[in-house]
């Protein structure tokens, strides 16, 4: 009981939000009374409990979370914040849908998708894509349920999970998300260097790969990746230091490049169906030969009515004479030239309907072609053939392809910039996953 201003005793309430007294009376009544445990905001006195409460509260939120909470407090009549909060302006399309598409379409789609189809077959690749896309879709549905459960301020997926399931789950998810983003950055850097040095500008390689074979070629490629990877990583660190907001301004330009690349893939499919390109591949029996092992896909050629042996003959025989001793497989099989890119109308899809998993070091053989080989005789001249560089199996293909469907958190991570996060996150994320899944299945 505490005396009132009119001299009559009045029961005092231990709660700050009580309507029994005004804000002025409550501030005078409880100032220095050690009632910090009953306060929501520890602004009255610097007590030990205030310090403990500030540590217990999540004060290390990303930029925008505190401003959002201060804006809510302003609406409830709390102390006004020092800085005015700018209202978020991004909608579903620009804030969630396009960023998710930009992050989902990655280097795996362009570098490893065709290899996966060639190894796993059309049906096996369809199963892999369906499994991976279903996993991300279920994850997006769960995330949407959390996003629509309450107000979603800035802080992204970590904020939503930690506020819905607790800090333990939020911390676990945050650590996994951090590690996943770190390894994904390394993967994209290596993919960028592989495209640059192997397909676009091979002459830019510091350690030359041409003329090397086996482990020497692999070591040279790894050394190039180490040098260029350090350069690219340093550039990325500089961008982060300057500010990612400058990169976000060019996000639409980067997305346009990705979409243009995908459109070019489908354009190439249509073009090869009408007019396949000239890309000859030489076969000995049904084994694929390396292009550096021959200049003409033939054992002998006619020059001035004279039969002359070729470079391919010299690769398998001990001399250039026609009566030379040659490799047994070379003698028993003919040389044939086929098109490496035959087009969709050639029946290649039906031929590659099922998978063809290989052990490391096995010959890359063409299906449907006859070959005469003695299974008991040891294989010779393996460096003249195209060999499998890795042992492939179904779960390996799943692990290689799965990073291609990640990146669904790009929209939810911008929750502080969304006009209506509860509406935009579910619609934009699910629509982006649906779009990219269709593209990957048709790819």
At residue 231, the pLDDT reads 92
- pTM higher than the cut 0.75: no
Q: Within 13 A of 167's CA, how many CA atoms are on the CB side?
A: 6
Contact present, 298 and 313 (Cβ < 8 Å):
no
380-405 pLDDT, tens digit per residue, is 666 788 888 888 889 999 988 988 88
SS3 (DSSP) at 433: helix
The SS3 assignment for 282 reads strand
- Nearby residues of 360 by Cβ (< 8 Å), 6 or more positions away: 388, 389, 390, 391
Token digits of residue 320: 């250039």
Confirm if 338 and 297 have CB atoms less than 8 A apart: no
Q: How far apart, in whole angstroms, are the C-alpha atoms of residue 101 and residue 97?
A: 6
The SS3 call for residue 339 is: strand
Q: Determine whether 299 is exposed, middle or buried from the number of CB atoms within 10 Å of its CB (0-12, 13-18, 19+).
A: buried
> Are 146 and 169 within 8 A, CB to CB?
no
Strand ranges of the sheet holding 335-339, from the earlier edge strand across to the other edge: 287-288, 280-284, 335-339
Q: Which two structure tokens, joined as six digits, stand for 25?
A: 């009376």
Taking alpha carbons only, the member of 438, 363, 412 closest to residue 161 is 412
Q: pLDDT under 70 in the chain at which residues?
A: 1-90, 150-156, 209-214, 244-245, 248, 374-382, 415-416
pLDDT at 230 (0 to 100): 92
């Amino acid at each position: 009981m505490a005396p009132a201003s009119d001299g009559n005793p009045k029961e005092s309430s231990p709660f700050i939000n009580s309507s029994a007294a005004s804000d002025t009376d409550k501030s005078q009544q409880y100032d220095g009374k050690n009632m910090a445990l009953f306060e929501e905001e520890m602004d009255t006195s610097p007590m030990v409990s205030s310090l403990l409460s500030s540590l217990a509260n999540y004060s290390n939120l990303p930029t925008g979370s505190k401003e959002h909470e201060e804006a809510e407090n302003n609406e409830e009549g709390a102390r006004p914040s020092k800085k005015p909060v700018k209202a978020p302006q991004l909608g579903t399309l620009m804030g969630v849908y396009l960023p998710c598409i930009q992050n989902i379409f990655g280097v795996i789609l362009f570098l490893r998708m065709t290899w996966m189809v060639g190894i796993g077959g059309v049906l096996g690749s369809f199963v892999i894509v369906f499994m991976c896309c279903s996993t991300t879709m279920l994850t997006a549905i769960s995330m949407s349920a959390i996003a629509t459960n309450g107000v979603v301020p800035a802080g992204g997926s970590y904020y939503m999970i930690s506020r819905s399931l607790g800090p333990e789950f939020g911390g676990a998810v945050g650590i996994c998300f951090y590690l996943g983003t770190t390894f994904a950055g390394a993967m994209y850097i290596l993919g960028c260097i592989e495209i640059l040095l192997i397909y676009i500008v091979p002459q830019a390689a510091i350690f030359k790969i041409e003329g090397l074979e086996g482990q020497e070629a692999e070591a040279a490629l790894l050394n190039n990746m180490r040098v260029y990877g350090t350069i690219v990583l340093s550039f990325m660190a500089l961008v982060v230091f300057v500010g990612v907001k400058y990169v976000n301004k060019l996000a639409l330009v980067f997305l346009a490049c990705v979409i243009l690349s995908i459109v070019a893939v489908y354009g190439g499919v249509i073009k090869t169906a009408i007019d396949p390109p000239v890309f000859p591949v030489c076969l000995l029996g049904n084994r694929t030969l390396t292009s550096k092992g021959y200049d003409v896909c033939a054992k002998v050629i006619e020059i001035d009515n004279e039969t002359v042996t070729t470079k391919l003959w010299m690769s398998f025989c001990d001399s250039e004479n026609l009566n030379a001793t040659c490799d047994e497989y070379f003698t028993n099989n003919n040389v044939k030239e086929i098109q490496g890119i035959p087009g969709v109308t050639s029946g290649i899809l039906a031929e590659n309907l099922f998978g063809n998993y290989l052990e490391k070091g096995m010959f890359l053989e063409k299906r449907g072609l006859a070959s005469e080989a003695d299974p008991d005789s040891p294989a010779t001249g393996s460096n003249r053939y195209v060999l499998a560089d890795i042992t492939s199996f179904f779960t390996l293909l799943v692990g290689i392809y799965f990073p291609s469907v990640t990146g669904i958190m790009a929209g939810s991570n911008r929750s502080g910039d969304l006009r209506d996060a509860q509406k935009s996150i579910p619609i934009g994320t699910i629509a982006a996953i649906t779009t990219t899944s269709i593209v990957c299945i048709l790819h």
